[in-house]
Structure 1
Amino acid sequence: MAITRSNSGLDAVFDAGRTFFNQKMDHMRRAQAKRRVYRATYHEFSVLTDRDLKDLGIPRSNIKRLAMEAAYGC
């Protein structure tokens, strides 16, 4: 007598786990990329002198908002 096993149910569970894991990893990568844009933009504006910012028409108090808009589009 031969015994056969079907792993299709287990394979479905593993596939679902891999899909969930890959989705979470993609989400984390996108969030990390946005954070990198925010930090770079914030740093670039913050190292400018008050005169440079005035020439650009940007008050120093708006640096955080501009960095948020650049990274997150809010």
Structure 2
Amino acid sequence: MAYANTSYSSFARPQGDSLLARLASHFAARRRYHETRRELGALSDRDLMDLGIHRSNISDIAAEAARNF
């Protein structure tokens, strides 16, 4: 006997958020990451030094900004 289940609520909401909300959150975090990298990358080494940031840490700082968004 075949059994078909058309209930997708457990698939679409494993964490209580809708798929659309999770996608929007993902893309907002991704945008924040790229904006932060672009803005910090545009600064001169002197400006970064004044902020206490080494150029090699820009990706880590951008990732942290995206996680805390």
Same fold (TM > 0.5): yes
Residue number among 27, 40, 45 corresponding to 1:45 in the alignment: 40
> What TM-score does the superposition give when structure 2 sets the normalisation length?
0.72
> What TM-score does the superposition give when structure 1 sets the normalisation length?
0.68
- The structure having more radius of gyration, on CA atoms, is 1
Give per-residue Cα distances to partners, 1:20-55, cap 9 Å, x unaligned: 388111111000011111111111100001111111
Which contiguous aligned blocks of 4+ residues in structure 1 show a shift greater than 3 angstroms? 16-19
Identity over aligned pairs, percent: 39
Q: What is the aligned residue count? A: 59
Higher helix share: 1
State the distance in 2 between where 1:56 and 1:31 align. 28
For structure 2, the residue ranges without an aligned partner over 5 or more in a row are 1-5
For structure 1, the residue ranges without an aligned partner over 5 or more in a row are 1-12
